[in-house]
Structure 1
Amino acid sequence: MHLDAQANMDTISIAIAGFSVVSALLLLLIYACFVDVPGKSPHSIVWCASLLLGLAVVQSYQLRYFMGGTPPLDEFVYRLALFALPASFFFFGRWALQPTEPFRPVALFHLLPVVLLFVAPIEIALPVLLSFGAGYSIWLGSFVYGLRAQRKQFRFEFFYFIVMAALAVLVLILGFALPFMDDAFFYHFYSSAIAVGLAIMIVALIANPTLIGDLSEAARARYGTSTLGGIDVDACLKKLHETMVVAKAYQNEGLSLASLAEELGISGHQLSELVNTRLGMGFSRYVRECRVEAAKSLLVSAPSQSILSISIDTGFRSQSAFYAAFKEVTGQSPGDYRKRARNSSTPE
């Protein structure tokens, strides 16, 4: 019976580890090629690659272990990838959220777990490694929490980071208990924790493709040096409203931060800070809200116009993107909104 349970657990873990390897490589491709972050730093791409490739290597060795291979910690490549993960996680988070952050020599401290791998026994190095990992997860969660005033929608994203931090703390506890427990249980749990973390990031990016860019903009607005000195903020806000709402710039499906900033006569960084600090949202969210507001008006004033036609008229690239944005902003689908608006205007 025990052997059957172990075999079932190994089968599940094989599937989980395989999913993680594919997910890590997919996330790397998405971030490097498709995620649009203003001023995306080469540092963030390098450390993203280090983090996700490291996770793929770790899960590959654990996958081999679940299939009857040697314990992963006996393999040098596994240990090297494992001990590089905390630094990769920290540096990626730092430069993804603050792409203009300069490199400082004191940051080399975060490579301490890698150094310990070569100078300390695994019984000492592993708990230190896991402590760094849990600490960085908590740091990232608190960093996002500090941006709550910049973004009303970050409450859900903060939940994602809370879950990831909780998983990191549980892995830390199991790491300290490793000398007193079955090694296989630790590998099974650690593999599952990695998979959950990757799944959370995939779900978060699907739900909000501009998540990293929004976080980066909010971080720059909160922690960076203001770029709005010397410009008439109220006049810029008025011109922004006239351009977006009156002149209907939102109808341009290729509208970008740079093109709109040029039209307003300010820099992209200034427009980003203006929208963040004065309107409480990122540029992408602001554009979506302008488009949804226009769509709401059309859904009521043009009852015979199709939803597909309305999505095109308001600048959305596809009907699916329109549905997702409309549901995000209003909490209901375009069809439901039109139906409720029609019912509320019908005399009893």
Structure 2
Amino acid sequence: MELFSLAIAGFSIVVAALLWLTYVAFLKIPGKSTYSILSCTVLLCALVALQLGHLLYFTGGPAPLDTLAYRVALFVAPSSFFFFGRWALLPDEPFRPALLLALSPIALLLIPRLDVSLPMLFAVGAGFALWLGRLVYGLRAQRKQFRFEFFWFGVMSAFAVGVLALGFALPYIDPAWFYRFYCNAIGAAFAILVVALIAHPDLIADLTEAAQLRYGKSTLRDADVDGLLARLAALMADPKVYQNETLTLSTLAAELGITGHQLSELVNTRLGMGLPRYVRERRVAAAKSMLVAEPNASILAVGMDTGFKSSSTFYAAFKEVTGQSPGDYRKANAKAS
């Protein structure tokens, strides 16, 4: 059991570092700010500190709750989770003094009795998780492809309930069981997040866009929506546009003479998808034509000629849109013709 938990703790630490690097340096997300990066950093550092405490414990070290570093990380994690969720999904929401109440878990550090402070901490943490769950669940009408993510979010919520129950039961059970379950729950959360991001690389960007549309004010009140849609379709029919590997929300919006928020709302509300998905669909449509029209062209060449940066991203996008691999699509349509 300890060997498995050791592996989970090590996995979590490596994945946390990779997720931080990916979020800070590579993910292009509308509204990503210093605040979201800072809260993400604090959250991941807290989770790493917790897993390091578990790692030391499973190799003969002190009980994690007896160390100051573990306690600080444990009591900081819920607040950083809340603020990251808020600043990542609702970057344009104004600051309200009531938000400072989200720092209350940190104040629980001042309570010396763990049998009092821990149940309160886990109850507040569960409340934050329910808040985020309610926020994300409210986006179900914005995105049909979020069904997969809703399922995994439900699994993560089940783990959160389990941790909450153990937090209340901690004074009455062997602490080793709490540490094992908590370590494995953190590892499971990281694994679920990695799987979700592999299946849907633009998940966070799409969630942010959908949240801004669902909970924000419309930016298209005085715009010629039909005219913008026609211009967008004409623009995306130009190979020079969709073949551009560095195509971004801001550059495409500039071509249309509107803001990035307006373009995001236009694509989301009128086409029912995020801009990354829309661009992928345009590129896949062009790739489908090339696969049939140029049977001697390699699949890699087709992918690169239609704006994909690598064969892996091309295969993933093609399978996501068509349900087939590029090779299977070419074979099926060659037989049909």
Out of 201, 208, 217, the position equivalent to 2:193 is 201
Distance in 1 (CA, whole Å) between partners of 2:307 and 2:3 is 47
Distance in 1 separating the partners of 2:185 and 2:111: 28
Matched residue, 1:5: none
Contact 2:242 / 2:283 at 8 angstroms: preserved in 1?
yes
Aligned length: 337
1:68 partner letter: G
- Paired residue for 1:154? 146
Q: How far 1:120 moved relative to its partner? A: 5.4
Q: Is the 8 A contact 2:31 2:88 kept in 1?
A: no
Q: Which runs of 5+ in 2 are unaligned?
A: none
Name the CA distance, whole Å, in 1 between partners of 2:171 and 2:115.
8
Residue 205 of structure 1 aligns to a residue in which SS? Answer: helix
- Aligned position for 2:295: 303
State the TM-score, normalized to the length of structure 2. Answer: 0.96
Partner of 1:292: 284
| Pairwise CA distance, 1:302 | 2.4
CA distance in 1, matches of 2:104, 2:257: 47
For residue 144 of structure 2, give the secondary structure of its aligned residue in structure 1: coil
Q: CA deviation at 1:126?
A: 0.4
Residue among 126, 137, 151 paired with 2:118: 126
Map of 2:265 onto structure 1: 273
Given the alignment, which residue of 244, 260, 274 partners 2:252?
260
**Structure 1 residue 80: Cα displacement:** 1.0
- 1:248 Cα deviation from its structure 2 partner: 5.5
* Counterpart code for 1:314: T
For 2:211, the equivalent position in structure 1 comes to 219
Deviation at 1:288, TM superposition (A): 0.2
1:64 is matched with 56
- Secondary structure at the aligned position of 2:237 is classed as helix
Match of 1:98 in 2: 90
CA gap 1:18/1:246 in 2 versus in 1, 3 angstroms: closer
CA distance in 2, matches of 1:285, 1:55: 31
1:204, 1:290 → 2: CA distance?
23
Among 95, 105, 109, which residue is 1:117 paired with?
A: 109
Match of 1:6 in 2: none
- State how far apart, in whole Å, the 1-side matches of 2:26 and 2:294 are: 35
Distance in 2 (alpha carbons) for counterparts of 1:269 and 1:148: 20
| Residue 247 to residue 19, structure 1, CA distance change in 2 (3 Å) | closer
Q: Give secondary structure in 2 for the equivalent of 1:153.
A: helix
Q: Percent identity?
A: 61
Q: Is the 8 A contact 1:62 1:191 kept in 2?
A: yes
Q: CA deviation at 1:308?
A: 1.8
Listed as ranges, the matches of 1:34-113 within 5 Å are 34-113=26-105
Q: Is residue 245 from structure 1 mapped to residue 234 from structure 2 by the alignment?
A: no
Matches of 2:90 and 2:33, distance apart in 1? 9
User: Gaps spanning 5+ residues in structure 1: where?
Assistant: 1-8
Shift of residue 205, structure 1, vs aligned partner: 1.8
Q: Give 1:136's aligned amino acid.
A: F
CA distance in 1, matches of 2:4, 2:310: 38
Q: Distance in 1 between matches of 2:336 and 2:140?
A: 35
Moved segments of 4+, more than 3 Å: none
Structure 1 position 142, deviation (Å): 2.5
CA contact (8 A) 2:115 2:170 kept: no
Is the partner of 2:105 in helix, strand or coil?
helix
CA shift for structure 1 position 247: 5.8
Instruction: Return the TM-score normalized by structure 1.
Output: 0.93
Cα shift at 1:119: 3.2
In 1, Cα distance between the equivalents of 2:188 and 2:68? 25
2:173 matched to 1:181?
Answer: yes
1:309 deviates by 1.9
> What residue number does 1:167 align with?
159
Matched, 1:334 2:331: no
Write the distance in 2 (CA, Å) between the matches of 1:10 and 1:296.
50
Equivalent residue of 1:101, what SS?
coil
Deviates more, 1:253-262 or 1:234-243: 253-262
Matched-pair contact (CA < 8 Å) for 2:281–2:321: yes
2:222 is aligned, of 230, 241, 248, to 230
CA distance in 2 between partners of 1:14 and 1:257 (Å): 42
After superposing the two structures, state which structure 1 stretch, 18-27 or 271-280, moved more. 18-27
